[in-house]
């Protein structure tokens, strides 16, 4: 398989075919939370509800810990994992703040000031240099 040129982009998990394959059940678990019935089942007994999806143990653990970036690393896609965040009552922008490791106020301020700059954020080599 050809080298994945996009793997050089820092702080980014491109949801490609490999990640989609390993993350399939994790993502289907997350999207199932769009219905109130399933949200109720997760609230009532999280372990029992998770057990209905054949996920890996590391994926289950990342769900328990709400380790948002780890979920992406294990094949989760943000449009899916954000449904789990919504289940917790976390709005999207606060989830973004948490994933990027800053406070909600700092993140909001960054967005109002024009967002995260592209300068210094193009390549993993730039992050290593920091």
Give the residues lining the site for other proteins (CB under 8 A). Answer: 5-6, 9-17, 20, 23-24, 27-28, 31, 33-34, 69, 72, 77-80, 82-83, 86, 92-93, 96-97, 99-101, 107, 110-112, 114-118, 121-122
Residue 123 carries which DSSP code? -
Using the minimum distance from each CB to other proteins, give the nearer residue, 36 or 44: 36
Using the minimum distance from each CB to other proteins, give the nearer residue, 24 or 56: 24
- Smallest distance from other proteins to CB 70, Å: 10
List the structure tokens of 53.
């999806």
- Smallest distance from other proteins to CB 1, Å: 13
Using the minimum distance from each CB to other proteins, give the nearer residue, 20 or 51: 20
CA-CA distance, 54 to 50, in Å (whole number)?
8
- Smallest distance from other proteins to CB 82, Å: 8
- Smallest distance from other proteins to CB 59, Å: 14
Closest CA to 29 of 56, 11, 10: 56
DSSP secondary structure string for all residues of 27-77: HHHHHHTTSHHHHHHHHH-HHHHHHTS---HHHHHHHHHT-HHHHHHTT--
Report CA Rg, the chain. Answer: 16
């Amino acid at each position: 398989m050809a080298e994945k040129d996009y793997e050089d982009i820092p702080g980014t998990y491109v949801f490609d075919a490999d990640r989609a394959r390993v993350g399939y059940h994790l993502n289907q678990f997350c999207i199932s939370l769009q219905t109130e019935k399933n949200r109720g089942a997760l609230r009532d007994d999280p372990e029992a509800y998770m057990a209905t999806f054949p996920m890996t143990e590391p994926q289950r653990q990342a769900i328990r810990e709400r380790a948002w970036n780890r979920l992406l690393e294990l094949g989760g896609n943000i449009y899916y994992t954000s449904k789990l965040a919504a289940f917790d009552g976390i709005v999207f922008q606060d989830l973004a703040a948490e994933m990027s490791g800053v406070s909600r106020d700092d993140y909001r301020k960054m967005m109002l000031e024009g967002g995260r700059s592209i300068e210094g954020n193009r390549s993993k080599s730039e992050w290593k240099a920091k």
